Amino acid sequence: MKVLLFCFLLINSLMASEYYAKLEPFENYKVKSSVSGKVTFSNEKIEGSFANNSVVVQIDSKVNKIELEQLKKKLKLFNEMIKIENTNYKRLKSISSKSAFEKDTQKLKVVNLESSKADIIVKIETLKDSISNKKLVEKSNYIFNISVKKDDYVTPGTLLYESKDLSKAKLEFFVPISNVESIKNKVIYLDGKKTDLKINKVYEVADASHISSYKVQIVLDSVKVFSRLVKIEFK
């Protein structure tokens, strides 16, 4: 009887797969600058807390805004010039005594103005994009680390801050390729407690460090404590 009980427990332990993983935020973001400029604001008070449509870092955009306003005025002037030259062209076109050369010359004026207008529009949109990229706002993520201070000068690629999505959590661990299929339909236990969780994703390509295993991901909702070690069992 004892031998049968021992065999049952042994078989049961072999059938249960056990792994460990650290409970991590669902997403980690490293926000880098896409522009150059001087940091005019670094919200150090928000570091270590959740954002609420908060400005985290602001880069100087004063000159950009002045240039944008001037370009908008220039665009307005070009629209007026195009309207005038178009009217002149239509009048010239209807006069039979005017040569084809004169008509083509007037038409070329309109074409050149339209081309210049297009260039101005591109510059305006580029400036708008640059200005928006100089004001970094986070909606609700947890601000983990702010890497720049006021008066720092940044260039494209400079790390500004890190943020984390704590709305969900994930457990990622490696399972031998030969075991992956056998765990897919098993019940998941976390720290010995039965759950109704399912495997969220299996990365079916081995990486350089785990050449005979696939990475497996489990996603959890409403997690209060992150970065703790969790025992994962499949039974």
DSSP string, 52-119: SSEEEEEE--HHHHHHHHHHHHHHHHHHHHHHHHHHHHHHHHH-TTS-HHHHHHHHHHHHHHHHHHHH
Q: What 3-state class would DSSP assign to 228?
A: coil
At 95 the pLDDT is 87
pLDDT, one tens digit per residue, over 14-34 is: 445 799 999 999 999 999 999
pLDDT digit string, tens, across residues 128-139? 999 999 999 999
Instruction: Tell whether pTM > 0.85.
Output: no
Task: Report the candidate in 82, 72, 135, 78 with the shortest Cα–Cα distance to residue 106.
Answer: 82
What pLDDT is recorded for position 159? 98
| Mean pLDDT rounded to a whole number for the chain | 90
DSSP assignment, residue 123? H
